[in-house]
Amino acid sequence: MSAASTAPPPTGSRGLGARYRRVLASSAAANLGDGLMVVAVLWLASSLTRDPFVITLIGLASRLPWLVFTLLAGVLTDRIDRRLLVGSMDAVRCLAVALLAVVVGLHQSSLPTPAELAAGAPAPDAAPLLLVVLGVVSLLLGFAEVLRDNAAQTLLPAVVDRSQLERANGRLWAAESTMNNFVGPPLAGLLLGVALVVPFAANAGLLALSAVLVLGLRGDFRPRGAPAVPGTVPSAPSWRRELAEGFGWLWRHRLLRTLALMLGAMNLLTTAAFVTLVLFVQEVLGVLDGWAFGLVTTGTAVGAVAASLVVDRVVARLGPGPSLLVSVVGSTVVLVVTGLTSSPVLFWVMGVVTGLFVVLWNVVTVSLRQRIIPDHLLGRVNSVYRFFGWGMMAVGSLLGGAVVVLVDAVGDREWALRAPFLLAAAGHLLLVPVAARRLGTSAVRAAEAEAEAAEAGTAEAASAG
């Protein structure tokens, strides 16, 4: 055995190569911009209305594309250079956010603060126009994000070796969570103190940087074609056939089907809980300053960063099955505590714990999909997975908004804002036995072994031909 083979594996992103560092930097820039938008959009909306139904519609606009466009995005991902898709969608988002920045800049001097609006100040005359623009831009950003994120997730197997996927995904999730949830929100709060338009303008610049970084990647990122079947003539591409192929592959795979449906249920419940988060933080936790709102939402990123540093070792020690079960059980407890607390500090701590469980779930499941799905189907099967997993966020937005409106109509505003968290916790509790029975380590290892055998058989057939 050579000395090189006995050396310990490299740590950090440097050992993953220059192309990976470029992908990492692009993701960090885009997610920093997303973190700015999370606070800026909510703060803008809460400066225009205190109606939870309208706030829900703004949240729904960004999530609806995951339900109606995800499957088509998968077909495009398996047809077009994935690097081009990621870069061009960042450019589209840059232009959309820049347009929103112009509109906000023209009206910002006439807008009240959320505290003034909550105290009874009249809504500005421009409120209806700004809410429509905000909703339309959120919808456009949602469509671009669906295509961008689906393509971005298929890039990684072409950038790093499969044996490095857990580590590469862990570092990527760390960068994304740090920028999206830790750096972005408090920075947005500080920038809002300068002017309402500043976080929007900054996001446009960050998206432009992300597009440049991705489009400058060297290498071949076109989807590899399906293995040729001897004696057959390749047919012309068909949207319907390609969609059916991706959907059928996932649905026949029991483990991935279970994971997709589980993720859909969890995302539906979590989105229902957090769709009116800005009102919960302002009215229940008493946080009325932009910088404080940004700070109190950083807990998830702190937990995600901490988890990313050890998640590969945690999964290796516990096994993928118990790791997934711990994530579901832990999320249930977090939702109960969050729904009952009135302390911003405890809310932040629960965010830290949430970040741990989110990264644990995502690193296991994303690495598994990248490892077992054939490359020529990766975009489509990922899109079907996300159709179930992320498309349900649109349904969750409506559910959460409806719960708040109905309980508020009874006359208890505080419990109206708490109720979605407790409902989401009850739903998570029902998922615990499903995870315990269906998501064991043996099922994960069997799926990986089956994929390796199929790939080896394809390679052998190709070499024989």
| Euclidean distance between CA atoms 351 and 346, whole angstroms | 9
Residue 249: enclosing H or E segment and its boundaries? helix 239-252
Biggest CA-to-CA distance, the chain: 77
**What is the CATH number assigned to the segment(s) 15-223+242-464?**
1.20.1250.20
Single pTM value for the model = 0.75
The angle, 0 to 180 degrees and rounded to 10, between the axes of the packed helices 254-274 and 413-438 is: 170
| Euclidean distance between CA atoms 431 and 23, whole angstroms | 34
- Using left for φ > 0, alpha for ψ between -120 and 50, and beta otherwise, residue 218 falls in beta
**Residue 12 burial (CB < 10 Å; 0-12/13-18/19+)?**
exposed
| Euclidean distance between CA atoms 453 and 439, whole angstroms | 21
Residue 109: predicted pLDDT:
86
DSSP-derived secondary structure letter, 156: G
| Euclidean distance between CA atoms 104 and 82, whole angstroms | 33
Q: What is the pLDDT along the chain (465 residues), one digit of tens a residue?
A: 333 333 334 445 556 788 889 999 999 999 999 889 988 998 898 889 888 989 889 988 988 988 888 888 878 887 888 889 999 999 999 999 999 999 999 998 888 877 777 777 888 888 888 999 999 999 999 999 989 988 887 787 788 887 777 778 778 877 887 787 778 888 888 888 888 999 999 999 999 999 999 999 887 777 765 444 444 434 445 778 888 888 899 999 999 999 999 999 999 999 999 989 989 999 999 988 877 887 888 888 788 878 878 888 888 899 999 999 999 999 999 999 999 999 999 999 999 999 899 889 988 998 888 888 887 787 788 888 888 888 898 899 999 999 999 999 987 899 999 999 999 999 999 999 999 999 999 999 998 888 888 777 766 655 655
The answer to whether the CB of 232 falls within 8 A of the CB of 125 is no
Using only C-alpha atoms, the chain has a radius of gyration, in whole angstroms, of 22
| Euclidean distance between CA atoms 223 and 162, whole angstroms | 16
Residue 230: predicted pLDDT:
43
| Euclidean distance between CA atoms 288 and 278, whole angstroms | 10
Angle (CA) 333-385-61 rounded to 5° is: 75
The answer to whether the CB of 65 falls within 8 A of the CB of 146 is yes
| Euclidean distance between CA atoms 257 and 252, whole angstroms | 7
Quickly list H helices, 69-223.
70-77, 82-107, 114-118, 127-155, 165-177, 184-194, 198-215
| Euclidean distance between CA atoms 341 and 337, whole angstroms | 6
Per domain, the residue ranges of the chain are 15-223+242-464
The angle, 0 to 180 degrees and rounded to 10, between the axes of the packed helices 70-77 and 82-107 is: 130
Torsion of CA 219, 225, 227, 228, to 10 degrees: -120
Question: How many of the other CB atoms lie within 10 Å of CB of 461?
Answer: 13
Sign (positive or negative) of CA dihedral 344, 346, 352, 354: negative
Residue 345: partners with Cβ closer than 8 Å, 6 or more residues away: none
DSSP string, 261-312: HHHHHHHHHHHHHHTTHHHIIIIIS---SHHHHHHHT-HHHHHHHHHHHHHH
Q: Read off the tokens for 259.
A: 């994971």
| Euclidean distance between CA atoms 103 and 108, whole angstroms | 9
**Residue 287 burial (CB < 10 Å; 0-12/13-18/19+)?**
buried
The answer to whether the CB of 163 falls within 8 A of the CB of 9 is no
The answer to whether the CB of 282 falls within 8 A of the CB of 267 is no
Q: Give the phi and the psi of residue 22 in degrees, each rounded to 5.
A: -70, -40
DSSP-derived secondary structure letter, 222: S
Residue 8 DSSP SS3: coil
Distance of CA 28 to the CA centre of its chain: 13
